[in-house]
Amino acid sequence: MLNSSLVRLGFVNLLLFLVSFVAAIPTTLDGPFPPVTVPLDDHGFRGNAVDLPDTDPRVRRRVNGFEPEQISVSLSASADSVWISWTTGESQIGDDIKPLDPTSVASVVRYGRLKHPLSHEATGYSLVYNQLYPFEGLQNYTSGIIHHVRLTGLKPGTQYYYRCGDPSIPAMSTIHAFKTMPISSPKTYPNRIAIVGDLGLTYNTTSTIDHMRSNKPDLIVLVGDVTYANLYLTNGTGSDCYSCSFPKTPIHETYQPRWDYWGRFMEPVVSNIPLMVIEGNHEIEEQAEHKTFQSYSSRFAFPSAESGSYSTFYYSFNAGGIHFIMLGAYISYYKHGEQYKWLERDLANVDRAVTPWLIATWHPPWYSTYKAHYREAECMRIEMEELLYSYGVDVVFNGHVHAYERSNRVYNFSLDSCAPLHIMVGDGGNREKMASSHADDPGECPDPLTTPDQYMGGFCAFNFTTGPAAGKFCWDRQPDFSAYRETSFGHGILEVKNETHALWTWHRNQDAYNSAGDQIYIVRQPDKCPVKTKPAVNPQPPHLLRDF
């Protein structure tokens, strides 16, 4: 018998529920679910987890002179604008590098709703970044010229064609196409959004991207750890465990050409499908004078200014009736910091009548039951969880742990029907080993003193004080908040159907293209779970560009 809460969903939502019931797809209204652990498939889950070599044709430079390459599209804060990014000129690595002059090549995009003619033109800016090491024997790097151009005045939900480059050389790309997001409204959504994490550039990565492309996403969200260039020395020697293989290096080196390889490999996808990225720990890439995140901050375009943050580490954007919040875990997340203050402003200005869905992403998970990185982000959770909960965040996506896990609705480690689902997709395909041990497995609970991360603040992961694990650092069984966990490479697809229902599907690489490894309807209950609202505030940007 249907309960009263389902009746209140209305006819359309009730129909969706009935369809999901017939198709045996559970909904979050059926939860909380008893914990499920899929046994490890020793033969099928890992595959050929090695990086593509620099001889692979998919990562080789295929253009001449200053012709554009590594072309990508990313979103602005709203549907009437996008960013086009690309690289021109060759990067250099060695002892004697000479950076290119960014002003020597123009940043021009010609675009229009018809292929011929491309009736509009926009210009942007360009830059070059360096990766420098003041140690004997380490090679320095300087990038090609990286261009970013913002297109404005676009029509939502519309396909546009474009070419980018410098027409005066001439050095222009071939014609590409992208589709803008639908207008922000409770009735309009992208058809499919791909969620991936911890990608790297391995043969598993290629499988993940092939599976993802087969699902025809309208948007790709990458929740950190992009290229894993920092698993390499500057001479190009790599390992799946940097500290194991290179314990005596004077600084954590990184082989920046892997970023160029990744950009070339991904171009056929992200030159047509917008890509939104948030930083992970493998993007830190410390160099001389303690500079960090130079490649991440330089190579991608972010709607930072448009969303009032003026930082590459945290920003927000709309995709139809969804408001995405992208947060940085490796800079200050404390209540007195700029990121937290920006988050308060951003949340206060979200109109749930226009964008009913509120989704947050950052790299390290707050709720993971794997031994790897167990409770590593506890300080961030303590600082930010209450704020996100009070504004009714619906779903949280994370990576970092190289496995898949979906939670029940959880807040402060307790089941809560109005709390967000936490979904971990750190299984994109990188060359580091996958996570297979759980903190609740016998003998696998880590020493609490090993859990803090040097980039994420102090020690906050104390023993639990309430619940089944009271007085302990780990549960002695799969926790109640963990609904489903599995060690396998894959990606996820989110399909928001309307203002209350969204279908989440996780796909394993080893399965057929149309198979689902895990699937659930995520149901919002705005009548049951009222959210914090207050008069909108003027989103004044902070005075500082970055808050380390």
**Catalytic residue positions, numbered:** 373
Nearest to 150 by CA among 293, 367, 304: 304
Q: Which of 242, 241, 256 is nearest to 132 (CA)?
A: 256
Distance from C-alpha of 419 to C-alpha of 137, rounded to nearest angstrom: 52
With beta carbons less than 8 A apart as the criterion, state whether 373 and 367 touch: no
Residues constituting the chain? 548
- Spatial separation of the C-alpha atoms in residues 348 and 394, rounded to whole Å: 16
State how far the Cα of 403 lies from the Cα of 370, in Å rounded to an integer. Answer: 8
Bridge partners for 324 per DSSP: 317, 359
Q: Where are the beta strands (DSSP E) in 426-489?
A: 482-486
Tell me the three state secondary structure of residue 162. strand
Residue 312 one-letter amino acid: T
Three-state SS sequence of 226-280: CCCHHHECCCCCECCCHHHHCCCCCCCCCCCHHHHHHHHHHHHHHCCCCEEECCC
Q: What are phi and psi of 16, to 5 degrees?
A: -60, -40
Q: Determine the residue type at 226.
A: V
Q: Specify whether the CB–CB gap between 59 and 261 falls below 8 A.
A: yes
Answer whether 423's CB lies under 8 Å from 407's CB. Answer: yes
| Both structure tokens of 161 | 């064609």
Q: Tokens at residue 438, please?
A: 């759980």
Using DSSP's 3-state secondary structure scheme, residue 52 falls into coil
* CA angle 438–375–379, rounded 5-degree value: 175
- Reduced to 3 states (helix: H, G, I; strand: E, B; else coil), residue 450 is helix
- DSSP notation for 278-312: ---GGG----GGG---HHHHHHS---TGGGT---T
Contact 85, 71 (CB under 8 A): yes
Q: Report d(CA 492, CA 195) in Å as an integer.
A: 5
Angstrom CA distances, 150 to 79, 118, 486, stand at 12, 16, 40
